Amino acid sequence: MAEAKIEFDRDRATQYDLDIRKAIPGYESLHGMTQSLLQTSLSKSARLLIVGSGTGMELVNYSKLNPEWLLTGVDPAAEMMAIAQAELAAQGLQGRVNLHTGYVNSLPETEPMDAATLMLVMHFLTDDGAKLQLLKDIAQRLKPGAKFILADLYGDQSASYFSQFTKAWKALYFSQLDDQARVKAEANFQTSISNSIHFVTEARIIELLEAAGFNQINKFYNAFLFGGWIAQYTGS
């Protein structure tokens, strides 16, 4: 099954890094914890696969975290990747980072990776095989024993907490916006919840990870409807 297409236009790409810090509770902490998990789990010569690398924030941060790590960033959005390429070049990091504009299943064959991240991407995919296929595509690029970090939206939309957490998330997000931005966000927030985000429960996320070949799945981050998990690839 082909991976579902996720597209960003140039305006959205340039605004993305600013908006996401406001939209996601504990965004900086999430990435700080992810960096710490990777730093304490991997060797100095590790190879990392960053899926949904966007404008390159993760690539830049991980490159600075360990100057010997080699990174591959994968993202289908050409405008986002152009920003990433420019930022990496500006910081002199382009020699250690390979960028692939496309999907994981079209990534050229490389030496298996020691770790991979998939941050805030999978909720865009429907649970009709697309989520599982993406996880399998990532697993196929990893060494046995490789670490995998997943962060995503999740939840049971029929549960009482879902409405409560959605309202609290919206209130926190909107409290950081000026009047003009709040009007725009008001028009988009509920549409995204209803149409763009494909929620699954935490139990289903664990089920998908196991079906893709991951075990030792542990949650390290939680904020309203956002969660983060670290897992290990079994090699099969």
Alpha-carbon gap, residue 146 to 150, rounded angstroms: 13
Query: How many CA within 13 A on the CB side of residue 196?
Result: 11
Per-residue pLDDT in tens (0 to 9) along the chain, 236 residues: 445 444 445 555 567 778 889 999 999 999 999 999 999 999 999 999 999 999 999 999 999 989 999 999 999 999 889 999 998 998 999 899 999 999 999 999 889 999 999 999 999 999 999 999 999 999 999 999 999 999 999 999 999 999 999 999 999 999 999 998 899 888 889 888 888 999 999 999 999 999 999 999 999 999 999 999 999 999 97
Number of CB atoms found within 10 A of residue 80's CB: 26
Residue 107 lies in a domain: yes
- Tokens of residue 65, six digits: 């975290």
In a domain, 4, yes or no: no
Count of the separate structural domains present in the chain:
1
Q: What is the DSSP string of 154-175?
A: ---TTSHHHHHHHHHHHHHHHT
Residue 3 lies in a domain: no
Q: Tell me, what CATH number does 155's domain have?
A: 3.40.50.150
- Give the domain range for residue 203: 10-233
Which structure tokens are listed for 11? Answer: 């305006």
Model confidence, pTM: 0.92
111 falls within a domain: yes
